[in-house]
Amino acid sequence: NAGVTQTPKFQVLKTGQSMTLQCAQDMNHEYMSWYRQDPGMGLRLIHYSVGAGITDQGEVPNGYNVSRSTTEDFPLRLLSAAPSQTSVYFCASRPNRENYEQYFGPGTRLTVT
């Protein structure tokens, strides 16, 4: 099993550009999440999904969209990048809503200039 994979590993964007961060898992997990990690702030939940076709907002959803057309994939779209979105983005998955043992992807380091 590859676990949770994310692409790209690094990305530099100019203000106003859009892009999609890819996330996939091969563990047949129902619950997937996107977090951002900033220095001194811990991981903050952006969006999450409890299954294919179902997504919802987390703590800091503004400026981001998600979709979940399959169990395996959970892409995160930045609509119009801003310098405040410079961060490390982690995708995570876990078996279901009740099982909190979560597995993370390797992360995407995004810089917005």
CA angle, residues 48, 9, 95, in degrees to nearest 5: 35
Report the residue number, 44 or 77, with the smaller CB distance to another protein.
Answer: 44
Query: If we measure between CA atoms, which residue out of 104, 71, 101, 69 comes closest to residue 88?
Result: 104
CA angle, residues 27, 76, 48, in degrees to nearest 5: 60
Please give the residues from 47 up to 86 whose contact with another protein meets the rule CB under 8 A: 48, 50, 56, 58-59
β-strands 87-94, 108-112: how paired? antiparallel
**Stretch touching another protein by CB under 8 A, among 21-29, 45-53, 68-76, 77-85:** 45-53
Tell me the backbone φ, ψ of residue 19, rounded to 5 degrees. Answer: -165, 165
What character string, x for contact with another protein (CB under 8 A) and - otherwise, covers 19-38? ------------x-x-x---
**Stretch touching another protein by CB under 8 A, among 11-19, 62-70, 74-82, 98-106:** 98-106
Quick one: tokens of 32? 């997937």
Binding residues for another protein (CB under 8 A): 31, 33, 35, 40-45, 48, 50, 56, 58-59, 90, 97-98, 100-107
